[in-house]
């Protein structure tokens, strides 16, 4: 099953970046890699740095903008580093907030296509909803591997390779 993203536009600049089209492609791509519950969905709020800064402060204690935040509907975390998360059972996967300014700045700074970067961040945040994390190296390797496979299916290059080349 694919993921259905319900979009909320707190910042209307996201509409010009075709967030709805990106979300549809990402949601469909997830169906090829995951056995998700029927009607799997997540809410995505396209916002700005001011909004995401407040959310980041309220939920993570960090008063600063970030590119994307996610709030899983269920705790699907793996039982120990290097293990895969539990399968999703509840179709309501959770919520995502993505910040316009930070995303556009990151894409420009890395000299990558904005749509590709937005796609990557939406995949990344959705994987967090599905219990993936990058706290431990083993977990990061698993999560990045899945991201790379989904991105490749969408015709997008490995962002970690690009990042390593820039450093």
- Give the tens place of pLDDT for each residue, 67-108: 999 999 999 999 998 999 999 999 999 999 999 999 999 999
Residue 1: pLDDT band (50, 70, 90) is confident
Identify the three-state secondary structure at position 96.
Answer: strand
- Banded model confidence at residue 162, pLDDT cuts 50, 70, 90: low
State pTM to two decimals.
0.94
Q: What is the pLDDT of residue 166?
A: 43
Range list of H helices, the chain: 13-16, 19-30, 49-60, 100-110, 114-129, 137-153, 159-166
Here the tokens at position 13 are: 């600049």
Closest by CA position to 157, among listed 126, 119, 103 = 119
Which CATH superfamily, name and number, covers 4-166? Metalloproteases ("zincins"), catalytic domain (3.40.390.30)
Exposure string for 133-146, b = 16+ CB within 10 A, e = fewer? ebeeeebeebbbeb
Domain limits, the chain: 4-166
Cα(124)–Cα(127) distance, integer angstroms: 5
Residue 155 has a CB neighbour count (10 Å cut-off) of 9
- State mean pLDDT over 24-53: 97
């Amino acid at each position: 099953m694919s993921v259905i993203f319900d979009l909320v536009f707190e910042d209307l600049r996201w509409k010009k970046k075709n967030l709805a089209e990106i979300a549809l492609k990402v949601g469909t791509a997830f169906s090829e890699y995951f056995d998700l519950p029927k009607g799997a969905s997540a809410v995505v709020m396209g916002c700005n740095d001011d909004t995401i800064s407040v959310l980041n402060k309220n939920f993570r204690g960090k008063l600063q903008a970030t590119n994307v935040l996610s709030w899983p509907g269920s705790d699907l975390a793996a039982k120990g580093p290097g293990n895969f998360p539990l399968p999703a059972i509840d179709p309501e996967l959770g919520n995502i907030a993505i910040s316009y300014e930070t995303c556009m700045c990151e894409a420009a700074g890395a000299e990558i296509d904005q749509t590709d970067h937005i796609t990557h961040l939406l995949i990344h945040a959705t994987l967090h909803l599905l219990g993936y994390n990058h706290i431990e190296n083993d977990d990061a390797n698993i999560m990045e591997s899945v991201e790379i496979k989904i991105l490749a299916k969408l015709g997008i290059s490995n962002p970690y390779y690009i990042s390593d080349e820039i450093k």
